[in-house]
């Protein structure tokens, strides 16, 4: 688990029409595509899921639960576009298990979203010896 300040993690992702359909079904939003004129724009919830994926799989790793997330979208992500999500550690408080990140999502050469996340590092307690009878 890399929790050094300025450490970065990155993933590429692509949301397909199949992902969009599954999200509509899961979220109960079957009518979403009929209400929107732009059915090619990826739902924000699917992008947020990628932030969760990055924080739990790459930076800082499996012992991380995010506490807050803020994203500002500058442009839409379109179905089947490849995006790159980058997180950089900005602050770590090991004593309290707190870690903060900046987030950036790019498509090709332009930024489509920026934000920040805060997480709680879950430490495994030391092994307790078995009780002796």
| pLDDT value of residue 124 | 57
| pLDDT value of residue 34 | 47
Q: What is the CA radius of gyration of the chain?
A: 18
| pLDDT value of residue 66 | 83
Cut 0.85: pTM above it: no
Residue ranges of the domains in the chain?
8-121
CATH placement of domain 8-121: 3.10.129.10
Mean pLDDT by 10 residues, the chain (133 residues): 76 95 83 58 94 79 81 96 95 88 96 95 59 45
| pLDDT value of residue 121 | 82
**Ramachandran category for residue 61: left, alpha or beta (phi over 0 → left; psi -120 to 50 → alpha):** left
Query: Residues 49, 81, 71, 99: what is their CA dihedral angle, to the nearest 10 degrees?
Result: 60
């Amino acid at each position: 688990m890399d929790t050094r300040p300025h450490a970065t993690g990155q993933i590429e992702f692509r949301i397909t029409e199949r992902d969009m359909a599954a999200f509509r079904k899961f979220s109960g939003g079957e009518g979403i595509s009929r209400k929107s004129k732009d059915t090619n724009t990826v739902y924000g919830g699917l992008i947020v899921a990628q932030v969760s994926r990055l924080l739990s799989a790459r930076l800082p790793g499996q012992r991380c639960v995010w506490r807050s997330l803020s994203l500002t979208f500058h442009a839409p992500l379109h179905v089947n576009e490849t995006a790159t999500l980058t997180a950089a550690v900005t602050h770590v408080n090991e004593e309290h298990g707190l870690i903060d990140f900046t987030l950036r999502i790019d498509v090709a050469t332009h930024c489509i979203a920026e934000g920040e996340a805060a997480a709680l590092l879950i430490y495994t307690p030391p092994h307790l010896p078995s009780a002796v009878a």
